[in-house]
Amino acid sequence: MQISVKGKQIDVGDALRHHVEEELSGITGKFFSKPIEAHAVFSREAHLIRSDISVHVGHDLMVQGHAEGVDAYAAFDAAIGRIASRLRRYKHRLRDHHAREKNGQVEKSSARTYVLAHQHDHEESHGKTEQPAGVDGQPIVIAESMTDLPVLTVGEAVMRMDLADQPTLLFRNSAHGGLNVVYRRGDGHISWVDPAWQDQSSGDTVKK
């Protein structure tokens, strides 16, 4: 596995680099036979040090975590601890995912993603604000690309969202092919959005 360790306005010495490489290799080796790459980035956040970790462990599976600490070692150890806890939580589901991936049973579709211009407010003479917009008030697109849209069960979607430390995940529900969303609520619970959809040939609403 290729591992990179970087600091943003922070010097990363050989001792810290060795600690990161050893811990990342040990944790990922317990759950994945051939992890692809890992990145650890250290930055200063107020009076603390922040550690951001991302591990690309499969063709379409990312594990991420972050934490703050009084020094780089404390921040990294807390972040890798959170990642290890999530991996242990999903170890059985991950084993099933690996088996399907090995047998070529992991499905996906494509979707186009857009990066929109950041909407900076600015005051006008009458005290109101104005948002930058393109034609007909639409947001300005500054970049676009194609991305994979995974076909998952709801449980798999929750696992991926949690492992990637993301607030939301868009996916196709493997039960019926429709677009679904899972997201983490402010109270910590997870919500699942499954819009009503209809069979295109009959027009009948499909029951789940």
Condensed to tens digits (0 to 9), the pLDDT of residues 12-28 reads 999 999 999 999 999 98
Secondary structure in 3-state letters for 171-198 = EEECCCCCEEEEEECCCCCEEEECCCCE
Does domain 107-193 correspond to CATH entry 3.30.505.50?
Answer: yes
- C-alpha span between 178 and 104 (Å, rounded): 21
72-89 helix and 91-102 helix, angle to the nearest 10 degrees:
70
pLDDT digits (tens, 9 = 90+) for 161-175: 999 999 999 999 988
Fold of the 2-99 domain: Double Stranded RNA Binding Domain (3.30.160)
Interval 50-62 mean pLDDT: 87
- CA–CA separation, 166 and 170 (whole Å): 11
Residue 192: which residues within 8 A CB-CB, separation 6 or more? Answer: 154, 158, 180, 181, 182
- CB atoms under 10 Å from CB of 11, counted, come to 8
> Among all chains, which residue has been given the structure tokens 């929109």?
116
Token pair belonging to 35: 């992890």
Triad 12, 15, 17: Cα angle to 5°: 55
Q: Where are the beta strands (DSSP E) in 30-187?
A: 37-45, 48-58, 61-69, 108-116, 141-152, 168-173, 179-184
CB neighbour class for 92 (10 Å; exposed up to 12, middle 13-18, buried from 19): exposed
Cβ pair 19, 77 in contact under 8 A: no
Banded model confidence at residue 99, pLDDT cuts 50, 70, 90: low
Beta-sheet strands, E only, within 70-194: 108-116, 141-152, 168-173, 179-184, 190-193
Report the amino acid identity of residue 188. Answer: G
Q: What are phi and psi of 95, to 5 degrees?
A: -65, -40
Look at residue 86 and tell me whether its pLDDT is greater than 70.
yes
From CA 161, how far away is CA 165, in angstroms rounded?
6
Is pLDDT larger for residue 147 or for residue 141? Answer: 141
Query: Mean pLDDT of all residues in the chain?
Result: 82
Q: Where are the domains of the chain?
A: 2-99, 107-193
Percent of the chain with pLDDT over 70: 78
